[in-house]
Amino acid sequence: MIIILNNSKAAQIKQLLNTHFGGKTDIFTHGNRIALNKVTPDQLTDDEKAGIADIIMDHPGAVQSSRALHPEDTIIKLPHTQIGGYGNFVMMAGPCSVESEAHVSAMAKVAKDGGATVLRGGAFKPRTSPYSFQGLGVAGLKYLREAADKQNMDMITEVMDEEHLEVVCQYADMIQIGARNMQNFSLLKAVGKTRKPVLLKRGMSATIDDLLNAAEYIAAGGNTQIALSERGVRTFDDKYTRNTFDVSAVPVLKKLTHYPIIADPSHAEGHWDLVTPMALAATASGSDGIVVEIHDNPEKALSDGPQALKPKTYKKMTSEVFALHDMLNSFNQQEGAVVNG
């Protein structure tokens, strides 16, 4: 349960609760709110009750991730980008894989020209088959860093294991945990010990609660610079799309958690011509940004060519997405949607 304390007595009651329950359960504090795992209201003393404004019983088990404990938006600050928070909107773009120094450099320029401030690209690639291209590794990290620096962009790339966590953190501004590793709890714990911003992608059959609990593994280590990414889930129909893009996960997550939500229409759809309509849909649903794959020659891409936008298509998409986000901001300025009126 999460307790909202009377402001006047907050410090005093926190101390009482910490003394009473400390060591017996997990306790988390945020402002005048305090979360006590597995404690029920009937365990509270009269003195404790006297300082309580409200108690919230219905919240995700991933309590640090919860808006019930932490009502305001988390804002992740990268050198060139703010992710999350009212009015902010981030475009992340780049090739699926880093293919060469020259190629990622060229793609970074395209990404920047289209309004992206974060360059994405894979140096370590989680491929379904061991016989597929596995990425350039550390060389890829270097190329990404140089390409991002040349364009004054931030850089995000995937980390697949603890062994490479240090080197990835050394090069990247933000690290990504892929869908297949969403419940690689050892990796989550290791990332939790860093203070590097992280984009956690939703697993292919992860429920909303699974995703929040995965984030909680990171937060439990002290790293709360977390963004979550919807990238499509597995359903019974994959003939015309690679996955089923669960767009409504965006408003659901915005309601439940304070972390920013980034939508990935490229992996969700798997076909370039569906990326623009679904980038618009995700933006309209309230996402804090879009991550998208681009390539100047998709037929020759070393991975995921069919979903890559070519430069002109990409720039048309971003201009539309930015215009749509501006319009949405104007809607929300008028009124929030908390009460059904």
**In the range 81-140, which residues lie near a second copy by CB under 8 A?**
126-131
| Residue 228 Cβ vs a second copy, minimum distance, rounded to whole Å | 14
Nearer to a second copy, 195 or 234 (CB): 234
Q: Which of these ranges, 2-10, 106-114, 143-151, 155-163, lies near a second copy under the rule CB under 8 A?
A: 155-163
Interface residue with a second copy, options 36, 160, 198, 302 (CB under 8 A): 160
Residue type, 332: N
| Residue 39 Cβ vs a second copy, minimum distance, rounded to whole Å | 12
Interface residue with a second copy, options 162, 167, 196, 322 (CB under 8 A): 162
Instruction: Count CA atoms closer than 13 A to 144's CA, side-chain side.
Output: 35
233 in Cβ contact with 202 (< 8 Å): yes
Sequence-distant (6+) residues with CB within 8 A of 295 are 95, 96, 107, 301, 305, 308, 309, 310
Number of residues in contact with a second copy under rule CB under 8 A: 85
Residue given tokens 């910490």 in the structure block: 18
| Residue 217 Cβ vs a second copy, minimum distance, rounded to whole Å | 5
| Residue 267 Cβ vs a second copy, minimum distance, rounded to whole Å | 12
Site for a second copy in 41-80 (CB under 8 A): 61-62
Nearer to a second copy, 13 or 206 (CB): 206
Site for a second copy in 171-190 (CB under 8 A): 180-181, 183-187, 189
Backbone angles phi, psi at 202, to 5 degrees: -70, 135
Site for a second copy in 240-299 (CB under 8 A): 240-241, 244-248, 250-252, 255-256, 268-269, 272-274, 276-278, 280-286, 298
Is 337 a binder of a second copy (CB under 8 A)?
A: yes
201 in Cβ contact with 177 (< 8 Å): yes
Burial 189-207 (b: 16+ CB within 10 A, else e): ebbbebebbbbbbbbeebe
Sequence-distant (6+) residues with CB within 8 A of 321 are 91, 279, 280, 283, 290
| Residue 189 Cβ vs a second copy, minimum distance, rounded to whole Å | 8
| Residue 231 Cβ vs a second copy, minimum distance, rounded to whole Å | 12
| Residue 138 Cβ vs a second copy, minimum distance, rounded to whole Å | 15
DSSP letter (8 states) at residue 225: -
Nearer to a second copy, 56 or 252 (CB): 252
Sequence-distant (6+) residues with CB within 8 A of 165 are 159, 175, 187, 190, 191, 194
Here's the x/- map for a second copy, 202-241, by CB under 8 A: it reads as --xx-xxxx--x--xx--x------------xxxxxxxxx
Nearer to a second copy, 59 or 80 (CB): 59
Nearer to a second copy, 153 or 212 (CB): 212
Residue given tokens 């890829």 in the structure block: 140
d(CA 51, CA 11): 10
| Residue 290 Cβ vs a second copy, minimum distance, rounded to whole Å | 12
Among residues 98, 94, 160, the alpha carbon closest in space to that of 127 is found at 160
d(CA 57, CA 60): 9
